């Protein structure tokens, strides 16, 4: 490039960019760094925010981009900012595109990172792996206007708007007379007329190969859906217009709506009502994350009725194809091996699967393999704060079923990553482990964790690669022939 050679090197001070070539070309090169002059010149540069901008300008494939035109996409959160090369090595074997930078505000709070740093880490990993297929950056589970703005400022290519705090959940429990009254009070008369016209006593039929199904809303169900969603839909509209205005009227940002963290499963009526309302207001979405029946707990397999799940997913996917051809997005998608074949089959025309914590668990596996004493300390600490940590995530781990760590030999430690209870233990406590401090305010584990991780980074990438490859393969995604 420009007659210069660019590459990454490992140093004691972390990874650096080196630029090599003729002296006058190096002077013209925009990266900031320290120059060492011989017959040719060598420049060593930090992976700073400023240099990341140069990187994205010079190698455009390192900049996050919309993945709208790819029907199967996978979000691979990288909490530590170290897993991305492993993600890329798995993903490039398949006909799938990755959202490599994907963190929620909640995750960033726990790891002490921000959206910009998350994207930077992904960009340099993309450069390192020379992955030119295009990748996304997702501001995940954004709940307010401010959070959306922060994520856009940092350069995300995807916004996941979480509506859970804007839904009026009382609309589910209130008795009919209260629903009638609230509907009259809260919904403008003209709006109500439009809604009745759009929905009332209409049958929405869907054709599928073996028969079909239809969705209808009676007056009560319509009123409940209106009350449930109307503030959320206003909010969606506001955010959508903001995103459009930021991207000069072009929809260059992938827009996902998530209603997966609600206390009730998303019914077909909910889904249909919501999407018809969005269409009516001219709001285009690229993916929708419903909440499915059964349980999608973090880091372990699906729990629930498989055939019911299968049917429900299929029907959601059909509605999505008919009403805007957006993807169904499956969250907490890591390790759901019993439902992956169904998910892959049912949502062939449009699927986004988000995995997040599973690469963190692979990091803990690496620690168990390479630094048993650190693993033991972290495990013990996790046990001590599990009760508190499990308030943040719905999990059912039973600590009594985890073998006492003092009774295990070092070589038995990695097997703890194969057991559901200990997986959940380590999954929900990651923020506490990263933030734990000793009496002098020094990190208890974080620094040693990062040191071990960078010493054994190739081993870590192999673990992550193998694990994510297993995910994609069990979805039944076609292999990439060219590589």
- Please say whether the dihedral angle defined by the alpha carbons of residues 33, 36, 37 and 40, taken in this order, is positive or negative: negative
Q: Which two tokens stand for residue 476?
A: 């039944």
> Which is the catalytic residue, given 78, 138, 140, 342?
140
CB 370 → Zn ion: shortest distance, Å?
Answer: 32
Note if 412 is an active site residue.
no
Cβ distance 26 to 33 under 8 Å?
no
Structure-token match 């839909």, residue found: 233
Cβ distance 211 to 327 under 8 Å?
no
Residues between 209 and 268 that touch Zn ion (CB under 5 A): 260
Residues between 23 and 62 that touch Zn ion (CB under 5 A): none
Pick 107 or 260: Cβ nearer Zn ion: 260
CB 328 → Zn ion: shortest distance, Å?
Answer: 13
Cβ distance 48 to 30 under 8 Å?
no
Q: Pairing state of beta strands 203-208 and 72-76? A: unpaired
Pick 16 or 79: Cβ nearer Zn ion: 79
CB 153 → Zn ion: shortest distance, Å?
Answer: 22
Q: Which two tokens stand for residue 455?
A: 């010493």
Pick 161 or 417: Cβ nearer Zn ion: 161
- Please say whether the dihedral angle defined by the alpha carbons of residues 9, 11, 14 and 20, taken in this order, is positive or negative: negative
Residues between 80 and 139 that touch Zn ion (CB under 5 A): none
Residues between 402 and 441 that touch Zn ion (CB under 5 A): none
Return the bridge partners of 258, or none. Answer: 162, 289
Question: Count residues contacting Zn ion (CB under 5 A)?
Answer: 2
Closest CA to 345 of 205, 209, 482: 209
From 28-36, 116-124, 325-333, 358-366, give the range in contact with Zn ion by CB under 5 A: 325-333
> Which is the catalytic residue, given 117, 256, 260, 286?
256
CB 144 → Zn ion: shortest distance, Å?
Answer: 16
From 114-122, 323-331, 397-405, 444-452, give the range in contact with Zn ion by CB under 5 A: 323-331
Q: Pairing state of beta strands 5-11 and 34-37? A: unpaired
First-to-last alpha carbon distance for the chain, in angstroms, is 23
Burial of 249 (0-12, 13-18, 19+ CB in 10 A): exposed
Note if 140 is an active site residue.
yes
Pick 3 or 394: Cβ nearer Zn ion: 394
Pick 134 or 431: Cβ nearer Zn ion: 431
- What is the rounded distance in angstroms from the CA atom of residue 116 to the CA atom of residue 241? 23
From 72-80, 272-280, 326-334, 453-461, give the range in contact with Zn ion by CB under 5 A: 326-334
Pick 179 or 428: Cβ nearer Zn ion: 428
CB 235 → Zn ion: shortest distance, Å?
Answer: 17
Q: Does 331 bind Zn ion (CB under 5 A)?
A: yes
Helix (H, G, I), strand (E, B) or coil at 413: helix
The residue ranges that bind Zn ion (CB under 5 A) are 260, 331
The residues that are catalytic are 140, 256
């Amino acid at each position: 490039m420009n007659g210069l050679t660019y590459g990454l090197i490992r140093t004691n001070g972390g990874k650096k960019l080196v630029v090599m070539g003729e002296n006058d070309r190096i002077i013209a090169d925009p990266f900031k760094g320290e120059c060492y002059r011989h017959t040719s010149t060598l420049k060593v540069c930090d992976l700073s925010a400023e240099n990341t901008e140069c990187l994205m300008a010079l190698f455009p494939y390192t900049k996050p981009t919309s993945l709208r035109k790819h029907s199967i996409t996978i979000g691979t959160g990288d909490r530590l900012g170290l897993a991305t090369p492993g993600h890329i090595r798995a993903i490039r074997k398949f006909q799938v595109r990755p959202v490599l930078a994907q963190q929620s505000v909640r995750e960033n709070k726990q790891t002490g990172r921000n959206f910009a740093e998350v994207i930077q880490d992904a960009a340099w990993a993309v450069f390192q792996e020379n992955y030119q297929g295009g990748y996304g950056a997702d501001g995940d589970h954004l709940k307010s206007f401010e959070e959306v703005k922060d994520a856009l400022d940092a350069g995300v290519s995807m916004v996941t708007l979480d509506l859970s705090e804007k839904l009026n959940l009382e609309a589910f429990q209130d008795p009919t007379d209260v629903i009638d009254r609230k509907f009259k009070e809260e919904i403008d008369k003209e709006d109500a007329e439009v809604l009745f016209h759009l929905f009332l006593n209409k049958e929405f039929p869907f054709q599928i190969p073996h028969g079909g199904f239809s969705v209808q809303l009676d007056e009560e169900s319509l009123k409940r859906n209106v009350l449930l969603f109307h503030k959320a839909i206003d909010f969606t509209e506001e955010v959508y217009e903001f995103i459009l205005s930021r991207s000069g009227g072009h929809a260059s940002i992938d827009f996902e709506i998530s209603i997966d963290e609600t206390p009730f499963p998303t019914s077909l009526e909910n889904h249909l009502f919501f999407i018809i309302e969005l269409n009516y207001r001219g709001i285009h979405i690229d993916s929708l994350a419903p909440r499915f029946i059964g349980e999608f707990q973090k880091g372990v397999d699906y729990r629930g009725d498989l055939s019911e799940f299968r049917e429900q997913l299929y029907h959601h996917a059909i509605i999505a194809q008919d009403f805007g051809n957006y993807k169904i997005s499956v969250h907490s998608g890591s390790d759901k091996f019993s439902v992956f074949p169904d998910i892959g089959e049912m949502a062939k025309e449009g699927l986004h699967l988000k995995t997040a914590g599973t690469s963190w668990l692979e990091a803990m596996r690496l620690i168990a393999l390479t630094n048993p004493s650190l693993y033991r300390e972290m495990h013990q600490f996790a046990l001590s704060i599990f009760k508190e940590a499990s308030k943040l995530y719905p999990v059912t781990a039973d600590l009594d079923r985890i073998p006492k760590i003092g009774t295990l030999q070092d070589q038995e430690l990695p097997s703890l990553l194969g057991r559901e209870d200990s997986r959940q233990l380590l999954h929900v406590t990651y923020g506490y482990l990263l933030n734990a401090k000793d009496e002098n305010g020094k990190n208890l584990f974080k620094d040693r964790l990062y040191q071990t991780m960078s010493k054994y980074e190739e081993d870590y990438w192999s673990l992550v690669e193998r694990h994510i490859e297993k995910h994609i393969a069990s979805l039944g995604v076609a292999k990439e022939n060219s590589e």
